Amino acid sequence: MRKNKAGNNHNYHLGNFLGGIIVAQQQKKVSYAYWPSSKLVVDVALSLRSEGFISGYTISPVREALQITVFLKYHPVTTEPLLAGFRSYASPSRQYNMTYRSLIRLTRGRSNLYFLSTTKGVVTSEYCLSRGLGGNLLFRLQ
């Protein structure tokens, strides 16, 4: 049981990390630093960068842990944040495991972008649907 709790602790970091990014963008900051970072947080940052929601990120050691600094991205014309909001599905107490079929039902008729943790890393629902993958539902961008 302890092993499961430690694994779910990463979901706690994920919620804090994403919430901090939203607040930093509302305040029109250029970057946001989060400490201590976890592998899941780094994987989410990589996925957000590959999807074009952030400019990039750096990882640096701070007090025997890793700090991730995310460089935020805004719309070039309206200067509105690209990450306006999210809904987290991952929590320390509950995981949402999605099969390929349940992911099809979830995304049908919706324009939201879902992020899942899979054997291929943290990827979008579009990636999963194109490759027939399922995974652990992490969050949805609005």
The domain tally of the chain equals 1
**What is the helix, strand, coil percentage profile of the chain, to 5?**
35, 30, 30
Q: Letter for the amino acid at 25?
A: Q
**Using CA atoms, how far apart are residues 4 and 12, in angstroms rounded to an integer?**
13
Give residue 6's pLDDT band: very low, low, confident or very high (50, 70, 90): very low
| Contact assessment for residue 69 and residue 32, using Cβ atoms and an 8 Å cutoff | yes
| 116-127 average pLDDT score | 95
Distance CA 96, CA 139 (A): 10
Q: Identify any residues that bridge with 67 across adjacent strands, giving them in sequence order.
A: 60
Nearest to residue 123, comparing CAs of 108, 136, 106, 104?
A: 136
d(CA 86, CA 76): 21
pTM of the model: 0.87
Amino acid identity at 76: P
Q: Which residues pair with 87 in a beta bridge?
A: 140
d(CA 55, CA 119): 25
CA–CA separation, 123 and 141 (whole Å)? 13
Report the CATH number that the domain containing residue 27 is assigned in CATH.
Answer: 3.30.1370.30
Give the tens place of pLDDT for each residue, 49-107: 999 999 999 999 998 889 999 999 999 998 899 887 888 887 767 788 999 999 999 99
pLDDT interval class at 112 (50, 70, 90): confident
Q: Which domain holds residue 123?
A: 2-141
